[in-house]
Each structure stands twice: as structure tokens, then as C-alpha cells.
A and B are shown apart, each in its own frame.
Chain A
Amino acid sequence: DTGVSQDPRHKITKRGQNVTFRCDPISEHNRLYWYRQTLGQGPEFLTYFQNEAQLEKSRLLSDRFSAERPKGSFSTLEIQRTEQGDSAMYLCASSLASGGNSPLHFGNGTRLTVT
């Protein structure tokens, strides 16, 4: 078990630029989640996949955000035309698909700073 891996750990970008983050889940996990966490807040759900299917997307997520998991393994989260309000820690997690009682295993996150 090598854990959930996220890349990069830190990203600084200028407002208006596009950014893409990558997440490699634990290999046997078929559910993959993206969360966003800002200072002083708990993780906020963004979206999740079961295998390659995106099953739910938060209504809070603007159209500038898109996520993919093309082969049911790694996933990417892209933010287009970044805004300062996008500055946050972006967390990826994975779990087994076992009726929902399997805990999520989190990566160490990608910290995005938009200047």
C-alpha cells in the first residue's frame, strides 16, 4: 500500500491561468474523490468517481472546474481561468467500493496559491 499520491504538492499561479493537478489512488481502490479545504474549514466535497464514471459533482463547483479519470486509475482536476478565491488545499482520496462503509484514504494534497 503506497498510499494516495498527489502532484504537485504546491502550485503558485497568476490569476487567469489554467492549472491541472494529478491524483494517483491506492491501486485496488475504485472510488476516487476530490475535496477542497480552506483555512479553518473542513474538507468540502467537489466530485467523485467510481472507476471512470463521474457519479456526482458538487453544485458549488463552477464550470471552470473539470475532473477526469479516463482509465479508472489516476485522476486529474483542472481549474481554468483561476481566481484568487480558488486558493486552497485540494485533497484527493480513494476508497474501496464496498457499500459505503470503507473509509476514505487521503493524499497530502496540492496547495494552490493564486496571485
Chain B
Amino acid sequence: AQSVAQPEDQVNVAEGNPLTVKCTYSVSGNPYLFWYVQYPNRGLQFLLKYITGDNLVKGSYGFEAEFNKSQTSFHLKKPSALVSDSALYFCAVRDGGGSNYKLTFGKGTLLTVNP
């Protein structure tokens, strides 16, 4: 079975400050990890993914994420937050060693960036 935990329902940061949204995962094989963002009444937009290689991956809108195998984590980061980054963020995982291709999502973290 594969699962994702996002331990924080909400994260609040001031504009210009760095932000971190936390994610931990569980899979039996190699993890394929993804971050998505959702704006109100919209579908999810892909931000970035980790499949293999460099533990620090860069994605859209200045976001990056750090894969840590020993801690089974994949935290989303941005050096300087913008008010427009305020949205719902989802971490997702699939087992790279399996033959099923579904993604399992966390419950989401609501990021609010205050001006």
C-alpha cells in the first residue's frame, strides 16, 4: 500500500519569507513523488516531481522540493513567498516498482501568505 501524510492542515507565512510545506510518504518500492497546487474551484496543477537523481528538484513558480529517503520526506519549499502563492497544496506518491499507475494524495495543506 502507498500513503502520504501532510502533517499541517495550515501554514501561514509572511510575504518575502521562506516557506516549507511538509510531506512524508510510505511505499514498498521506490517512490515517485509529486506536488500539486489547487486554487478555489479549480483542478490540480502540477508543480514538480521526483523520480530519481538529484534530491533537490525544481519546479514551476520558483518552488522546489527536497527528497530525503532516510526520513521518507518530500518537503515543498520556496525561498521567498508571494501573496499569490496562497492556495491548497497536495503531495502525492506512487510506487515506482509496481504495475499500478494511480497516485495517492495527501489531505492537503492550506498555505496563506500574508502581505
Contact = CB atoms under 8 A, between A and B. Distances in A.
Interface of A: 4, 31, 33, 35, 40-45, 48, 50, 55-56, 91, 93, 95, 97, 100-101, 103-109, 111
Interface centre among A35, A43, A48 (most CB of B within 10 A): A43
A54 B70 CA distance: 36
Contact of B46 (A48, A103, A107): A103
B77 interface: no
17 contacts: A33-B102, A40-B108, A42-B90, A42-B92, A45-B102, A45-B104, A48-B102, A50-B101, A55-B100, A93-B43, A100-B32, A101-B51, A103-B49, A104-B103, A105-B46, A109-B41, A109-B43
Interface of B: 4, 32, 34, 36, 41-46, 49, 51, 90, 92, 94, 96, 100-108
A55 B94 CA distance: 16
Contacts of A31: 101
A91 B108 CA distance: 16
Contacts, number: 64
A56 B100 contact: yes
A107 B102 contact: no
